[in-house]
Structure 1
Amino acid sequence: MGKILAIVIGVALLGFIAEEVVRSGSSFFRGDNTNIGEVNGEKIAYADFSQKLEQSTNQFKQQSGQSITPQVSNYIQETTWNQYLTELLLNKEINKLGIVVGEAESQSMISGSNPDPQIQRQFVGQDGQFDKSKLNQFLQYLQTPKADAAQLAAWNDFVRQLITAKKQQKYMALVTNGLYVNSLDAQDDYLAKNKLANFKYTVLDYASIPDANIKLTDDDYSTYYNAHKNEFKNQQELRSFEYISFNAAPSKDDTAAVKAQVEKLVGDFKATANDSLFVQINSETKGQLTYQKKGQLEPKLDSVMFTADKGFIYGPYFSNGSYKVAKLIDSRVGPDSIKARHILINPTTEGGIDKALAKADSIKKLIAGGKSFADLAKMYSIDKASGEKGGDLGTFGRGAMVPAFDDAVFSAKPGELKVVTTQFGVHLYQVEEQKGSSKYVKIAVVDKPLTPSSKTQAAVYSKAQAFLSSLNKDNFDAQAKKANLPLKKAEDVNAVAASVIGLDNAREIVKWAFKSEKGDFSDQVFASGDQYVVARLSAIKPKGILSLEDVKKQIEPAVRIQVKGKQLSDKFQSALNGASNIDQVAQKAGSKVTPLQNIVFANPVIPGSAAEYKVIGTVFGSQPNKLSKPIEGQQGVYVFTLDSFTNPAQLTNNIREKQQIGQVLLQRSQGSVLDALKDKANVKDNRAKFM
């Protein structure tokens, strides 16, 4: 069942993951209360999206083992949203074109001679290859009355996902099959990679004019903005806010209190006979106690525990935000890894733990009497993966198995037949081989995190509340300065952001920002981690082409370069007047001439400088022995003279060039199709009012 559910979740996340989809930017807190969005008039129900988001989150937990932080949650939500939108956009095109997967084709994908790769990966034999008999056995089981209803539903959902993916493949095949590379494309590509240009250039760097000497005017900004307006298209509404934060970190009294709390535990910790239970009751961090070798403990313990006596107490000490005390429970010299095999018996099906232990003892006697361990494992072990291999678990190091089993097998001698009970059942096991030898210690650690007390939090909150109470529409900056508090900024935040620079958990602040007007300050004190925050909305950038005012600060460096370029171009133009060669131009302009050999159009880099697309492009469109006009490049303003071209051998067979270009087009086609569908789509994103 676990495998089938994993398949369903995995396939649900397959498909074509789009980049950020165009979002509306209208008010996020009005309108439909049940639909989280809309694509070309098709509504997205909050319940449907929420279900997919839950599947994505569960899959992430299973695969990564990480905790779900606000940043991770935001990433999962964004990925799931984009995948959901992409499916809707593609499915609309698929339905419009009448693309289907017929019954015979579906059957072939599931149980034909060459089933879908997703199915093949789930039904493998002992050799790791697809096992058709296992698939057939499973399909037959689904047809019986004994078939689990949930498992059957999961399988049907999985098949539906396979069919959807197949339709998407067909749609993309229609697009890619229409791609064509002609002989002229191949010839141009060949020349771009093989035609060589030899030229001399002189350059006046932008850095030669100090920034302080450039005074930018409104006309300078307008000229640049109007020439690059389409570059400032905002795909989604963004907002910026400034904020004051009051730090509620633990005080000296808080620190002393937590340390004293840990110190009180030392005596009882030293005296207890049940260290594991003591840790479970008193420690913030729960966990099984396992043997570890040098280098696996945190540094403070690693330096003392391997030379200490059993029962030694270390601490209290401070580490990773907590006060801790550690106890050496045991130390021993043992193998680093072992090769072992086992037979696993299920107490539930045997009628209880006692009967399972009795069965393990009976199997043990059979093996001791000469019966094959491997044969009995295949016959009796409920761990089918190892059972089919004679119970073989392979070679593994300490910590690879659950603690109870780990302790047992690493304490056993090679050849011994022993029994241990874990949460999985009763194991009859045998260590076949031991490798390596190191000293290992078992350490119990009790920790108490250092957090601010309610008294500390209340005091800091009161300061933040007093600051908020002192504000009016016009005095935010003045009050911050009076309180000697730095004004921090969160710029260009989108509506579903969970964190911003400086604030790990900022979701409530972001929600407030998208309900407010420019200049508003927050109507409450927000808690974010150990900080209390008061914010003011400083900017709103609507969806669409941004105004000059919105991008003025952003484009300032480029505008300054543009003004410098005009001045340097004028300087070169004066030097060009009356000059007959590049050396004369450089001498008059106060620059130097640099010769370049064997430059190709496909790699427009000037050695020692940077990629200069405009300069190299102009070179390849020039005639030899003519001075160019000033060209404003990336690093400065250039003037060049072309010496010669070296043409490659005639292209007689363009098949390879066509294939290379076609491959590049094929790789880009999927993203290009999705971009085109997104640009055309009318998408409304209401996630901000739900999430």
Structure 2
Amino acid sequence: MAAIGSIRKRSGFLVFIIGLSIVGFLLMDALNSNTSVLRGGRKDSVGEVNGEKIMYNDFTKKVDDAATNMQNQMQGQSISDEQRSMLRNQVWNDMVSEKISEENDAKLGLAVTPEELADITIGANPHPYIVQSFSNRETGQFDASQVRLFLQSLDNDEPGAEPGSKRKMWNNFEKELKKDQLRQKYATLVTKGLTIPTWMAENAYQSQLATVDFKYVQLPYSDVKDSDIKPTDDELKAYLKANAKRYAQEEETRRFEYVSFDIIPSKQDTAAVLEYLNEKLPDFVAAKTTSADSIFVKLYSETPFNIVYKEKKDLTGSPVADTLFSAPVKSVVGPYIEGDKLMYAKITDRKLLSDSAKVSEIVFSFADVKTQAEADAKQKLFDSVFTLLDSLHGNFAQLAFNYSDDAQAKVNGGNIGWVKRNAKPAQYNDLIFFKAQKGKVYKAATQNELIIFAVTEDKPSAIGVQAAYFAKTIMPSPETERNIYAAASKFAAENQTEDKFKAAAQKLNVQTADNVHKNDFTVYGLGSARDVVRWAFNAKKGEISTTMNVDKKYVIACLNSVSAKGIPELAAVKERVEFDFARDKKAEILDKKLEAAKAATIDEIASKLQTTAVPVSGAVLGNPSLNGSLFEPNVVAAAIGATVNKVVLPIKGNTGVYAIQVTNKIEPPKASDFTSYTQVLKAQIQNKANRIAETQRKLAKVEDFRFDFF
């Protein structure tokens, strides 16, 4: 009772503590949740385009639809996190472009009318997408009737498909048609708004055909030592400010260094795997038949038995290739390591292989089967014909003529001629070349067919070996992984400042990830490392990460620089600025050297500089190289524009500073018709107009919040 009384006395304090805990819990949830109210009220959107939101639900639905389409293309295989990240970027770019285009199209009154849509789908002017989708795969010819047939069957979904999936697919296809049609209209408006004046076409004619001969003297940038250029940070900041546009970036980025501790097996882990293999090795050795070997491998090995025979050239890189072709059949070879497995190999058979075989087939196609009853009837017929051949030794040619769905081969008694090894689907190929014996019939299956086949002739020529592999992957044990984690964590704990990290990392294989963007999924040297990217964009400059698990590695990172959108801080681009600054300073030094050696001729200048003037013949602006080696457009342009025999200097080039003297110019013949050059320039403008979306995007105000969610 005394305890109850004490609680009653302190009930106000307890209520306060409980309330504070609830607030703390909610605040922590708000800070960590993807739907946080502290994210500026954008919990329902992944971004904005000119103030219009891209809703989270709309975005994720499109990503899911894209993922489903990808899975269908991959025949149901699950997609990786990296592939899903790629789809997010793709969907994001599409949705941003769509919103920008919708706004611009509305301002200009651009639209695709129902009549226009009909014309580009079933009318006289089919859209390229329609032509591509409804062309005969064998002939490549477009069949307009197939479009109408498809549209008439929109409500007839494929067996097993989700109801309405066919119409949904067409609606999405139709949207893409409209979007492309609007893109073309916008590009046409831009193109029609631009003209090519005659003087521009004439200049193009002149620059393409005019040639110039000249001599040059080059002072390469490498003549000035890097150690002679020692800029201060103030000089570099001034240079950065003066050349701000050169370093401006559209997105914020990060640069960080990291060390990784590979999670790999220890010697003890390898010994444990060897002990497991050796324990069962006697049973593997004792098996007398290929069937027994196959059963053993199925029970105990991680490498399944395969009936395939391999030539020595197919085993390049295997440490036991020579032994497999020299040891007696039924010998066991090993142990040896191949890839990440420790294994023994048993030679189950060796024989001569054919590189081609003559084959006869009876094909039962399921391509036109519509119902399960039809499929069952086809299967029953297949089994009956096989029994007639295998047990009753029926006439293969006659049965092929009566029942095969291969119209071309059936008239030849099913004979399809000589088949090259690996020309047929894998399982069928293996039956033909590694199992089938002449005079016997066999069953095979491909994607839409059941096949009865017989090998009638072959051409044995190369020795092949068939082997069974008793293998187990060498994996790091939990103890090994704990030890590696402990070493990584110790490194992180002992190097909590940037200076300490840099010093300690030099003793390890330190790597640098530069120009990392907010929505990147992969990191140079690490592969899929989204958690590392997220850490980098939540960390402060100089911060050291905790130990992160990334694709069989423990990673510790140090954030070196933060580059904001727009003009970055010097620290973020210091290496680039230092390089450019040094090159410009070298150019200034070399300019003065050339000016001091100025003379009436290029040869005199060369003599003063103790070098040689290099002749260039037939230089053209369309291919601005010096004798096919140095790419120097500034130098060639200066030569084209210079007066014959006049020395021109200094010219800042890609590889150094130049002085030139033109010795001869050949002007193109006088012309009045520049039609071909006008067309070329128009095509260039058309190409730029087709990329107008890039310009539209740069002009739009795009806010990307995806980092808050993914």
Tell me the TM-score range normalised by the shorter chain: 0.7 to 0.9
Q: Secondary structure at the match of 1:661?
A: helix
Using a 3 Å threshold, how does the CA distance of structure 1 residues 591 and 89 change in structure 2: closer, same or farther? same
Secondary structure of 2:538 counterpart: coil
* Shift in Å, 1:229: 1.6
1:257 matched residue in structure 2 = 272
Deviates more, 1:643-652 or 1:533-542: 643-652
**Match of 1:282, as an amino acid?**
Y
Q: How does 1:38-187 map to 2 (within 5 A)?
A: 38-54=48-64, 75=86, 77-112=88-123, 115-120=126-131, 121-122=133-134, 124=136, 127=139, 129-131=141-143, 136-142=148-154, 149=163, 150-187=165-202
Please tell me the residue identity of whatever aligns with 1:519: G
Assess if the C-alpha contact under 8 Å between 2:341 and 2:472 holds in 1. Answer: yes
1:570 partner amino acid = K
What is residue 486 of structure 2 aligned with on the other side? 462
Shift of 1:542: 0.5
* Aligned-partner residue type, residue 457 of structure 1: E
1:126 to 1:534, Cα distance in 2 relative to 1, 3 A: closer
Aligned residue runs from structure 1 range 336-355, under 5 A:
336-338=355-357, 341-344=361-364, 349=373, 351=376, 355=380
Decide whether aligned partners of structure 1 residues 244 and 407 sit closer, same or farther in structure 2, where only a CA change above 3 A counts: closer
8 Å contact 1:360–1:427 — kept in the other structure? Answer: no
Moved more, 61-70 or 681-690: 61-70
1:295 paired residue number: 313
Q: Which amino acid aligns with 1:614?
A: N
Aligned to 1:230: 245
Question: How do residues 334-413 of structure 1 correspond to structure 2 at under 5 angstroms?
Answer: 334-338=353-357, 341-344=361-364, 349=373, 351=376, 355-361=380-386, 368=395, 373=400, 376-378=403-405, 397-399=420-422, 401=424, 405-410=428-433, 411-412=435-436
Q: Please report the TM-score for the alignment, with normalisation by the length of structure 2.
A: 0.79
C-alpha distance 551-470 of structure 1, shift in aligned 2 (>3 A): closer
Q: Aligned partner of 2:601: which letter?
A: N
Tell me how far apart the structure 2 counterparts of residues 355 and 472 of structure 1 sit (CA, whole Å).
73
RMSD: 4.2
Q: 1:678 to 1:493 in 2, by over 3 A?
A: same
For residue 94 of structure 1, report the CA deviation from its aligned partner.
3.4
Distance in 2 (CA, whole Å) between partners of 1:229 and 1:53 is: 37
In the TM superposition, 1:268-283 aligns within 5 A as 268-271=283-286, 273-283=291-301
**Secondary structure at the counterpart of residue 336 of structure 1:** strand
TM-score (norm 1): 0.81
Are 1:341 and 1:394, in contact at CA under 8 Å, matched by a contact in 2? no
Q: Per-residue deviation at 1:440?
A: 4.0
What letter is aligned with 1:32? R
Aligned partners of 2:339, 2:475: CA distance in 1, in Å? Answer: 12
Q: 1:685 — aligned with what? A: 704
SS at match of 1:451: coil
**Which residue identity lines up with residue 355 of structure 1 in the other structure?**
K
Larger Rg computed on CA atoms: 2
Of 197, 217, 230, which residue of structure 2 is paired with 1:215? 230
- 1:422-473 superposed Cα distances (whole Å, 9 cap, x missing partner): 7867433456876775444443334322222110111121233234344555
Kept in 2, the 8 Å contact 1:193–1:601? The answer is yes
AA aligned opposite 1:44 = I
Q: How far apart, in 2, do the equivalents of 1:198 and 1:185 lie?
A: 24
Corresponding residue SS for 2:527: coil
Say which structure, 1 or 2, has more relative contact order (CA 8 Å, 6+ apart): 1
CA distance in 2 between counterparts of 1:173 and 1:374 reads 59
Secondary structure at 1:161's aligned position in 2? helix
8 Å CA contact 2:361, 2:451 repeated in 1: no
Name which of 605, 611, 616 aligns with 2:631.
Answer: 611
Deviation at 1:418, TM superposition (A): 4.9
C-alpha distance after superposition, 1:58-112 (max 9, x if no partner)? 6667778999677666555544543443344334433443433333443344444
Which stretches in structure 1 are left out of the alignment for 5+ residues?
A: 1-26
The match for 1:532 among 544, 550, 554 is 554
Q: Is the 8 A contact 2:212 2:620 kept in 1?
A: yes
Shifted more, 262-271 versus 231-240: the winner is 262-271
| Residue identity in the other structure for 1:507 | R
Instruction: Say if 1:341 and 1:431, in contact at 8 Å, map to a contact too.
Output: no
2:512 maps to 1:512 = no
Q: Which moved more, 1:267-276 or 1:498-507?
A: 267-276
Deviation sequence 1:177-227 (CA, Å, 0-9, x none)? 444333212210111121122333323222222222333245653554344
Cα 1:30–1:649 shift into 2, 3 Å: same
Aligned partners of 2:519 and 2:706 also within 8 Å: yes
Structure 1 letter corresponding to 2:479: K
Q: Does 1:655 align with 2:684?
A: no
Tell me which amino acid in the other structure corresponds to 1:221: L
State the identity as a percent.
29
1:312 Cα deviation from its structure 2 partner = 3.5
Mapping of residues 440-451 of structure 1, within 5 Å = 440-451=464-475
Q: From the superposition, tell whether residues 37 and 295 of structure 1 become closer, same or farther in structure 2 (CA, over 3 Å).
A: farther
Shift of 1:370: 7.2
Q: How many angstroms apart in 2 are the aligned matches of 1:222 and 1:156?
A: 55
What are the ranges of 5 or more consecutive residues in structure 2 without an aligned counterpart?
A: 1-36
Aligned partner of residue 602 in structure 1, secondary structure: coil
Q: Is the 8 A contact 2:617 2:627 kept in 1?
A: no
